[in-house]
Structure 1
Amino acid sequence: MTQHTVDIAIIGAGSAGMTAYRAASKHTDSIVVIESGPYGTTCARVGCMPSKLLIAAAEAAHAVREAPRFGLKAALDAVDGEAVMQRVRGERDRFVGFVVDTVNDWPDAHRLRGHARFVKPGVLAVGDDEVHARCIIIATGSTPNVPEDWRAALGDRLIVNDDVFNWTTLPASVAVVGTGIIGLELAQALALLGVRVRLLGRNGRVGPLTEPSLQNLTHDLVDASLQLSADAKIVAVESGGDGVVVRFETADGVQQETFEYLLAATGRRPNLNGLNVEKAGIKVDDKGRIPFDRGTQQIDDLPVFIAGDVHGVRPLLHEASDDGRIAGDNAVTWPKVVQRPRRAPLAIVFSQPQIMMAGASHAELTADNVDFATGTVSFKKQGRARVMCVNQGALHVYGEHGSGRFLGAEMIGPAAEHLGHLLAWSVQAGLTVQQMLDSPFYHPVIEEGLRTALRDLQRQLKLPPQAPEGCIDCEVGG
């Protein structure tokens, strides 16, 4: 057995682990990163980047179909599934290559391959190696959570999002189970590329928006884009010929359909199996997660930190990177640790239309008994949205009574990925609704819809009248 004695051991070389390494290695060379799987991060290999490549192809197909609305004689003759997936895989491999190159540039002594497990506090077994570390960072990520009986019944006809990006061509049909972010994005992208898709949910909800009317609007818009059964009970799944037979029950009774594949987008679970965290004195809650301090990433008062999707809080790349930086910095200075400020929440769904949440959600504000008001705008008549034939959706913005402080927003509609950034920055800067309205709004742009929502919010907050802003004509269709 080879023994390694280091200052810091990081378990996992994903986005959080790599950022933790960068942070810690600025202060110590006594460090090792342990990885049991392929290098390349979830984002680059099976997450953010390949999914956006597939969505980009879907958006291009959608644009061709929409061309006649602008008086253009265009038609989508066919979707070349092999060409679509060839580009997805090729560009995916390019992104993964950048990450792998980065890891391979680390000193050999900083890399250890194998599955880590705790032997006792401060000691990890990795195959025939043993690692003794002053501090340990757990950054093992998460795994799709799939019912075991589905695996047994369907074999390779049951897939998760990871598998989609290894396809060599597009299938004819897919049942997507799960109406969260992953299920929604992939279901709509495949449907826009001509795949027969049925999206199945279990509680009527579609996507992450929490305000009831926005949740209803999301349901209606998604339902218009593909076959949706948002409140369905899966009765049985079984192999049938060269496909999958899915029986599900809705308010209309039991239905049965056959698909080439069943794509399970039924949530994710932390990668803690086999890590033996209890031998390090680490407690796991009844949901299988490890409680920790989000300001320091520290677990209890132990010399152990946690970062990234493994803890299940805001499983997003920028959050994982922040986790890694905080964990890496605090592991270096332990036992002295510092509370680090977190960025304003920002989440984006690349659906059709896009969805975004910035700052506090309606559900969070309600649960916390915050005294807040809501301003709204529909994009049906919004000027620039109509110009571009994307006039669907709505935006809700939230502000605090008394202070007039902007608290957050939820939206489904055009340019949500861009509006989301503006609104998250406004929350982080602590702006009031009045200060936001005092900022420039060009004409004609989608952002004029935001101005309309903010004006409505200002009225709901019953604050003193704001100073005039720009020409009255610009309000028309804004």
Structure 2
Amino acid sequence: MDETRIECDVAIVGAGSAGLPAYREVLRAGLTPLLIEGGPHGTMCARVGCMPSKLLIAAAQSVADMRHADGFGIRMDSPPRVDGVAVMDRVRRERDRFVRFVIDDVEAMPPAHRLDASVEFLRDGVLRTGDGREVHARRIILATGTRPNVPALYRPLGNLAIVNDDVFDWHDLPRSVLVVGAGVIGVELGLALSRLGVRVRVLNHSDSFARLMDPAVRDVAVELLAPELSLVRRARVTTVRRESDQVVVGWSVEDGAEVTERFDHVLLTAGRSPDLAPLHLERTTMPLDEQGRPCFDPATLQVYGQPVFLAGDVTGRHAIQHEASDDGRLAGRNAAAWPDVRALPRRAPMAVVFSEPQIMQVGGGHAALTDPDAMVVGKVDWTRQGRSRVMQRNQGLLHVYMRKSDQRFLGAEMVGPDAEHVAHLLAWALQMELTVPQMLDLPFYHPTIEEGIRTALRDAVR
């Protein structure tokens, strides 16, 4: 028996939110899978993404709620005190519990189905480990995820330049953080840290904010959240240097004014890129684009002309956990059925930012409207909405989009109360291809946040 040669039907490179569902689909099809992971198990979502970030956000929200209790007539004897060590202890402890659940599932797999090693392509269908073993696979799924972008300007800062992955290993909260980028991660973590007493400044090179594309909704979101973020838009960073254990950053804005500030850390949220370079795809016959990434069919996830499939964040699309899982299932089914690959129905797009007030998009939001002249916008201003006012959360704006010709619901963007729940209801309606009149025929309980949806839908019909 050649111990340097491993054979399998489907090799799955990456054991994250896409790789694990792919493994299960291949196993369900009766084929032999090999799940390959070169880093720590536990998924990016559980280790450094969805779950630890929400733990930090939950702690910050509890502080914000106490600070706003006075509006209900509840007097606090003294302002809440944030114990940074205790906050981060809970974040790490609960994070580790979520990670352990995933690791337990992986360790329960048959040992022959697992390979804990980094791999690279030797040639088509053959992967090589660092110790010289070769994996010969009839089909391959690449679910290697992404890596954070670290612009060259900040690399000389060493460990004072961090990415979101690093935040959740802190043992205490820093005094100050500069956040570079006002995308989803920058807004979520910036707000959480600010509400926990960290001095935060967010710099963004453009007018973008949390991926909102509807100008009116974006303007309201900026108005509500920018003060806590100390947001500077259209900022051009001019100087970055390290002085002892602090970072000194200078920037200018459109009017030419220049500002210099000191921070304990710079948190870089300048996006993430597919983690493909270590695989050496150039050794294969896969068609690659100008960035060296495989050219693939987004409907089937198959690399053109190859028994190779992409799944999850590595595709370069939205890095959203449920979409990565859907990708994994689709890639696993198609890899098992290859060459009989098929496009499967996809769920309605939905995205949520866990700020407060929250932000959401359904159906791709305003950016997905190919012909704005053919649609109608219905809106609700949350300041006048009953249940929101009862809870003192009456801030924000909801826009729903309706096609004029048949009154079909097309999507929405929102900043406001309980946007995560509003997003689900509207995404379900979109996937069911409901018209706005059909949505208005559905029940709305009084008094609820959901009545605000009805107000916006009625506005669209009018």
TM-score above 0.5, yes or no: yes
Q: Which moved more, 1:197-206 or 1:280-289?
A: 280-289
Corresponding residue for residue 15 of structure 1 = 17
The answer on 1:332 being equivalent to 2:336 is yes
Q: Report the AA paired with residue 59 of structure 1.
A: Q
8 Å Cα contact 2:31-2:336 kept in structure 1:
no
CA distance in 2, matches of 1:92, 1:32: 27
Deviation of 1:314 (Å): 1.7
Deviation of 1:284 (Å): 2.8
8 Å Cα contact 2:82-2:197 kept in structure 1:
yes
CA distance in 2, matches of 1:134, 1:381: 60
8 Å Cα contact 2:312-2:325 kept in structure 1:
yes
Show CA shifts across 1:246-277 (max 9, x none). 11111351100000000000110110112111
The answer on 1:296 being equivalent to 2:315 is no
8 Å Cα contact 1:206-1:230 kept in structure 2:
no
Corresponding residue for residue 310 of structure 1 = 314
Query: Any idea what SS the aligned residue of 2:258 has?
Result: strand
The answer on 1:62 being equivalent to 2:52 is no
Query: Any idea what SS the aligned residue of 2:216 has?
Result: helix
Deviation of 1:201 (Å): 0.4
The alpha-carbon distance between structure 1 residues 56 and 33, as it changes in their structure 2 partners (threshold 3 A), is same
Corresponding residue for residue 282 of structure 1 = 286
The answer on 1:371 being equivalent to 2:374 is yes
CA distance in 2, matches of 1:210, 1:289: 27
Corresponding residue for residue 79 of structure 1 = 82
CA distance in 1, matches of 2:66, 2:50: 24
Structure 2 residue corresponding to 1:93, chosen from 76, 91, 96: 96
CA distance in 2, matches of 1:307, 1:226: 34
Corresponding residue for residue 105 of structure 1 = 108
Structure 2 residue corresponding to 1:264, chosen from 258, 268, 275: 268
Corresponding residue for residue 436 of structure 1 = 439
Deviation of 1:53 (Å): 0.1
Deviation of 1:371 (Å): 1.9
Query: Any idea what SS the aligned residue of 1:274 has?
Result: helix
Provide TM-score, normalisation by structure 1. 0.94
CA distance in 2, matches of 1:240, 1:69: 43
Aligned 1:133-282 pairs, distance under 5 A = 133-151=137-155, 153-252=156-255, 253-282=257-286
Show CA shifts across 1:272-315 (max 9, x none). 11211122222332355433222211111210000000111121
CA distance in 1, matches of 2:117, 2:261: 42
Corresponding residue for residue 327 of structure 2 = 323
In structure 2, the gaps of 5 or more residues are: none
CA distance in 2, matches of 1:125, 1:226: 46
CA distance in 2, matches of 1:361, 1:370: 15
CA distance in 1, matches of 2:381, 2:289: 42
Show CA shifts across 1:140-193 (max 9, x none). 000100113411x21111100000000001001000001000011000000000
The answer on 1:407 being equivalent to 2:435 is no
Show CA shifts across 1:82-107 (max 9, x none). 00000000000000000011111111
Provide TM-score, normalisation by structure 2. 0.97
Q: Which moved more, 1:46-55 or 1:281-290?
A: 281-290
Q: Which moved more, 1:18-27 or 1:75-84?
A: 75-84
8 Å Cα contact 2:350-2:364 kept in structure 1:
no
Corresponding residue for residue 464 of structure 1 = none
8 Å Cα contact 2:349-2:363 kept in structure 1:
yes
Corresponding residue for residue 468 of structure 1 = none
Identical counterparts, % of pairs = 53
Query: Any idea what SS the aligned residue of 1:239 has?
Result: strand
Show CA shifts across 1:312-369 (max 9, x none). 1121000000000000001111011111010000100001210000114212213x66
Q: Report the AA paired with residue 458 of structure 1.
A: V
The alpha-carbon distance between structure 1 residues 288 and 76, as it changes in their structure 2 partners (threshold 3 A), is farther
Q: Report the AA paired with residue 190 of structure 1.
A: L
Structure 2 residue corresponding to 1:392, chosen from 390, 395, 398: 395
Show CA shifts across 1:30-76 (max 9, x none). 21111110001000000000000000000000000000010001243
Deviation of 1:204 (Å): 1.6
The alpha-carbon distance between structure 1 residues 370 and 141, as it changes in their structure 2 partners (threshold 3 A), is farther
Query: Any idea what SS the aligned residue of 2:279 has?
Result: coil
Deviation of 1:401 (Å): 1.3
Query: Any idea what SS the aligned residue of 1:224 has?
Result: helix
Query: Any idea what SS the aligned residue of 1:49 has?
Result: helix
Corresponding residue for residue 131 of structure 1 = 135
CA distance in 1, matches of 2:292, 2:357: 34
8 Å Cα contact 1:330-1:338 kept in structure 2:
yes
Show CA shifts across 1:201-245 (max 9, x none). 000211111111111112211213231102201111111232110
8 Å Cα contact 2:153-2:240 kept in structure 1:
no
CA distance in 1, matches of 2:306, 2:447: 55
Paired residues in the alignment total 457
Q: 4+ residue stretches of structure 1 with deviation over 6 A? A: none
8 Å Cα contact 1:61-1:76 kept in structure 2:
no
Query: Any idea what SS the aligned residue of 2:422 has?
Result: helix
Q: Report the AA paired with residue 330 of structure 1.
A: N
CA distance in 2, matches of 1:2, 1:375: 63
Q: Report the AA paired with residue 143 of structure 1.
A: R
Q: Report the AA paired with residue 390 of structure 1.
A: R
Q: Which moved more, 1:34-43 or 1:232-241?
A: 232-241
8 Å Cα contact 1:381-1:391 kept in structure 2:
yes
Query: Any idea what SS the aligned residue of 2:369 has?
Result: helix
Q: Which moved more, 1:310-319 or 1:56-65?
A: 310-319
The answer on 1:4 being equivalent to 2:2 is no
Deviation of 1:370 (Å): 7.3
Show CA shifts across 1:109-159 (max 9, x none). 1111222111111111112210111100000000100113411x2111110
Q: Report the AA paired with residue 138 of structure 1.
A: L
CA distance in 2, matches of 1:439, 1:94: 40
Q: Report the AA paired with residue 161 of structure 1.
A: N
8 Å Cα contact 1:205-1:219 kept in structure 2:
no
Q: Report the AA paired with residue 337 of structure 1.
A: V
8 Å Cα contact 2:15-2:35 kept in structure 1:
yes
Corresponding residue for residue 26 of structure 1 = 28
